[in-house]
Amino acid sequence: MLYPRIIPCLLVHNKGLIKTTKFKDPKYVGDPINAVKIFNEKEVDELIVLDIDASRYGKEPDYKMIENLAAECRMPFCYGGGIKTVAQAQRIFSLGVEKIAVSSTAIENPQIISEMAERVGNQSVVVVLDIKKKTLSNKYELYIHNATKSTGIDPILFAAEMQKLGAGEIVVNSIDQDGVMKGYDMNLINKIREVVNIPITVMGGAGSIEDIGNVIKQHGIIGVAAGSLFVFKGKYRAVLISYPTAIEKNTLLRQNFLDQSSYIKIAQ
């Protein structure tokens, strides 16, 4: 039986880990390798690492960093940042990465999604949509380059297009909710969910395990990613890497995903 995935998302800036609020005010939270080691011990479902410098400044992916992270990871590993060609994607897969994530490249050259999917398989191609709500119209818009450039593109229509071109997964990342820790944008998730039937992962807003549970309760088999929730503790946002224990995950799924008749114990 397939289960929802609870996924830490790590942002890399100047080779260190940071956490942002609404894609601004970066706070250093540690070393990427150390974070991966801790998440290994906590047996996380999957890990997303996004190099926000590579995409914004047009840099080549840091292959040595990716290789080191992949060698350390004992969970499925999705990497994004600076991937513009099929050759780059293939090189990254050769380092031990299971999924590659593209954002601005998908907008600037949509056909690359079909080319990547043909070469490495649909299930390995993830499109990240950084989405912000317009103040006046309350409509959503896609942004690129770490939310520094608006595109004027409707993310709901674009998500459907990415599915047609062969993307195997859509990551819905709310700029407005990033780092705020007050819950996910459920309206945005619903809109994307209505137009695609491939797996989606949602990011932006998790402030508690209950926020994750709310998404799972509404959408079932879905990826629920978080940054601040898994790296900060308390109102003063002290850095402390965490992740739900097996018992906590078990309880979360029992309450929000599995009914008592179909409940399968996953915590040994």
Q: Name residues whose C-beta falls within 8 Å of residue 60's C-beta, 6 or more positions apart in sequence.
A: 54, 82, 88
Which residue's entry shows tokens 């520094």? 148
Q: 176: exposed, middle or buried (C-beta count within 10 Å: 0-12, 13-18, 19+)?
A: middle
Annotated catalytic residues are: 130
Q: Name residues whose C-beta falls within 8 Å of residue 138's C-beta, 6 or more positions apart in sequence.
A: none
Degrees to nearest 5, angle at CA 228 with 225 and 229: 70
pLDDT of residue 56: 85
Which residue's entry shows tokens 């079932």? 220
pLDDT of residue 266: 38
DSSP 3-state of 138: coil
Average pLDDT over residues 214-232: 96
**Domain assignments of the chain as residue spans, ordered by start:** 5-256
pLDDT of residue 93: 96
Of all residues in the chain, the percent with pLDDT exceeding 90 is: 90
**Residue 86 carries which side chain, given as an amino acid letter?**
V
pLDDT of residue 27: 95
Which of the four pLDDT bands, split at 50, 70 and 90, describes residue 235? Answer: confident
Mean pLDDT across the chain = 93
CATH of domain 5-256: 3.20.20.70
Give the tens place of pLDDT for each residue, 6-37.
999 999 999 999 999 999 999 999 999 999 99
pTM, two decimals, is 0.94
Other Cβ atoms within 10 Å of 108 Cβ, number: 12
- Min mean pLDDT across 36-45, 130-139, 219-228 is at 130-139
Give the tens place of pLDDT for each residue, 64-122.
999 999 999 999 999 999 999 999 999 999 999 999 999 999 999 999 999 999 999 99
Looking at the DSSP bridge assignments, the partners of residue 10 are 49
Average pLDDT over residues 145-159: 95
